[in-house]
Amino acid sequence: MPVCIVVGLWGDYNRYQAFWCGNVRYGGASPTGGVFLAKDDNELTLIPLGGMGEIGKNLYVYEYGEDIIVVDCGLKFPDPEMLGIDLVIPDITYLLERKQRVRGIFLTHGHEDHIGALPYVLRELRVPVYGTQLTIGLVEQKLREAGLGSKIRTYVVEPRTPVRAGAFRVTFFHQTHSIPDAAGLIIDSPAGTVVHTGDFKFDQTPVDGRIPDYSYLAAVGEKGVLALLSDSTNAERAGYTLSERSVGTTIDRVFNEAPGRIIVATFASNIHRIQQVLDASATYHRRVAVVGRSMVNVLNIARELGFVRATDDQFIDLDHIGSLPAERLVILSTGSQGEPTSALTRMANASHRKVEIVPGDTVVISANPIPGNETPVARTIDQLERAGAHVVYAAVTSVHASGHASQEELKLMLNLVRPRYFVPMHGEYRMQQRHAELAIACGISPQDIFILENGDPLRMSAERAHVGARVLNGSVLIDGYGVGDVGNIVLRDRKVLSQDGILVVVLTLSTQTGQVVSGPDIITRGFVYMRESEHLLEETNKLVTETVAHCVREKMTDWSSLKTSVRDAVGSFLFEKTKRRPMILPIIMEI
């Protein structure tokens, strides 16, 4: 029987925050202070399977009765300790166990942390996908590359046009972000209305002229909102986020002053930034060569759908850039995050087949490093400078504007919507906490604010809200073609190999006598250099022989026991001699 601990008094509504029963946290209270545990059939349940306490891997489940909808389906890039891992996506076991009830996936915008997991998820969960025009254009390209183009139904939805999905009615509304056609969602259910902001900022002078839909948000808030889920990425930043148009001033100055080639690296999806580069290129009579597969793909889709304004004669094929004087050329590239295989990094390392950095080049890195990428970005800048380029980056001038709302914009969202409950999302825990403090400053009661973790189901109605028992959630690791076949044990082994190397012991035993017929032979990689450690390896060889002989005398002849004895003996000996713990791999053969 679990012990339940209540934090706050039963009748003390203002102080009540949460309580624990066993390992399960429950939060919220009724207007009279009562605690609710059981799920009510009239409650709306929100379950984040990604995006809480982290930036990336966004996937939010809304459930009412027998109907489920999913908002966003993103990936995140691996942490430094995830050696060899390419991508990380959410664990969707909860959805797969209820796949007959899932009515669709609704996408807020086309960034990888919101759509990148779709090719993996839709292999197992064949449901329709809804989004704005550019978002669906990017998704369809992904699905074609994954061989799913004809198997998944996709729908382009216009802002303010409701979509019925079981018990839900979902309406998109226009937001401004660092990619065009971003949207928030109004999710109506019998339990009430939820505003899901997606990623946003309130840009008063957007590059495309489409301002956020303030009037619609205010009208929804006037009718009454059950809950607001809002982007927390910049909740630590005071004031307002710079308009994307402000970056255009810096770009124009760089183009005006650069004596030779200009190389601009930015996110492939930052179409507003790309448009400003194209506009400056036209103003200063430069032609543009595009480098990087993702950049080429996104630019082609954006031009086809009308989100980028440019004529064909503004561009030049990369193979023909030698025909232009340096002062007439711009190269638009991927690699703003110092990715090892990106075009800009290969240019910096002099390993790109078609572009070589030369003195007189101006390189603009038009993005802030994502947390964790600071070192590779700094290394790339150093290499570019060594090659003679003049590098313009965020630390020295304003060449980037965030796509996420700062504190004053977050307050404006709260005051426009005026929700009953508030859930800060899309951010690390400290960001969610700062966002919660902003909500309290805007008049939302602390007990009506829920800082959730992935897997926490928040059950809501107009009268009450509480957090239920955590559902199965987690991360699925993508390594090459492998999906989920690399787990903690493999990562642990990779970490050991990267830190202390491997030592392989090979020997052959006689099946009749149990005596060593051949070996032991010792092979090391990443542990010691064999020529300089001959004495150590000779002692290790002798120890293996003695250990095997002891096992034979004690009649420990099964391979498992024999390998364990060799591994333990050699491991203890090597740690005593070197203070290192290499992976020890005994290979025993019988003849």
Q: Are strands 419-425 and 390-392 parallel, antiparallel or unpaired?
A: unpaired
Kindly report the number of other CB atoms within 10 A of residue 4's CB atom: 13
Domain identity same for 344 and 372 = yes
Rounded to the nearest angstrom, the gap between the alpha carbon of residue 39 and the centroid of all alpha carbons in its chain is 32
Give SS3 for 172.
Answer: strand
51 phi/psi in degrees, rounded to 5: 100, -5
Percent of the chain past pLDDT 70, that is, above it, reads 87
Residue 14 lies in a domain: no
Domain identity same for 54 and 160 = yes
Q: Across 97-224, where does the E strand assignment appear?
A: 102-106, 129-131, 154-156, 162-165, 168-174, 183-189, 192-196
Q: What is the pLDDT of residues 141-186, one digit of tens each?
A: 999 998 998 899 999 999 999 999 999 999 999 999 999 999 999 9
Q: Between 244-257 and 271-283, two packed helices, what is the crossing angle to 10 degrees?
A: 30
Amino acid symbol at 217: L
476 phi/psi in degrees, rounded to 5: -110, 125
The chain-wide mean pLDDT, for the chain, equals 86
Residue 149 lies in a domain: yes
406 phi/psi in degrees, rounded to 5: -90, -175
pLDDT band at 37 (very low <50, low <70, confident <90, very high): very low
Residue 11 lies in a domain: no
Domain identity same for 166 and 204 = yes
Domain identity same for 232 and 251 = no
pLDDT band at 550 (very low <50, low <70, confident <90, very high): confident
Q: Over range 308-321, report the average pLDDT.
A: 93
- The residue from 479, 503, 526 where one domain ends is 479
Amino acid symbol at 7: V
Q: What is the pLDDT of residues 451-467, one digit of tens each?
A: 999 999 999 999 999 99
Q: What is the pLDDT of residues 484-504, one digit of tens each?
A: 556 566 666 666 777 778 888
Q: Which helix (H) or strand (E) holds 115?
A: helix 112-115
Q: Over range 374-390, report the average pLDDT.
A: 92
Domain identity same for 136 and 179 = yes
Burial profile 233-253: b = 16 or more Cβ within 10 angstroms, e = fewer: bbbebeebbebbbebbebbee
Q: Over range 224-247, report the average pLDDT.
A: 95
Q: What pLDDT was estimated at residue 14?
A: 29
Q: What pLDDT was estimated at residue 485?
A: 52
* CATH code assigned at 513: 3.10.20.580
Give catalytic residues, as residue numbers.
231, 404
pTM exceeds cut of 0.75: yes
